[in-house]
Amino acid sequence: MRVLGFKNQTELPALYDLCDLFVLPSFYETWGLVVNEVMNAGRPVIVSDRVGCWPDLVKPEINGAVFPAGDTQALARVMARVLADRGGLLRMGAASRGVIGRWSFNEDLAGIRSALAYLTIENRA
């Protein structure tokens, strides 16, 4: 395993093709657009529960996993489990491509409408 640290945005597509698994262990990410990008490259993803896109894009045990932010032992366990199954990595990667392949502007609009409806209901109470 190699941890590469910061890379310029122009370097990322080539690196996605080289990785078996992508991990975003952030303490806070409003969305985490890099997850969309790496899923498009057909890679499984592991993200912390503080990465905003996880409820929409990361399907635990289907295309990746989610762990509690800051829990390094949980991250190590989930990485070991996912990396131990080469066939599972390939299936999860294909699932990532399928999930992101169905993502479009329509899903964005549905999310915005849902959030606005929630706020409108909350403000009426």
SS3 of residue 104 by DSSP:
coil
β-bridge mates for residue 22, sequence order:
45
Q: Yes or no: is domain 9-124 CATH 3.40.50.2000? A: yes
Ordered by start, the domain boundaries in the chain are 9-124
Say how far apart CA 44 and CA 63 lie, in whole Å: 5
pLDDT in tens, 67-113: 999 999 999 999 999 999 999 999 999 999 999 999 888 887 887 89
Instruction: Give the pLDDT band (50/70/90) at residue 124.
Output: low
Say how far apart CA 70 and CA 86 lie, in whole Å: 26
To the question of pTM greater than 0.95 for the whole model, the response is: no
Say how far apart CA 47 and CA 63 lie, in whole Å: 11
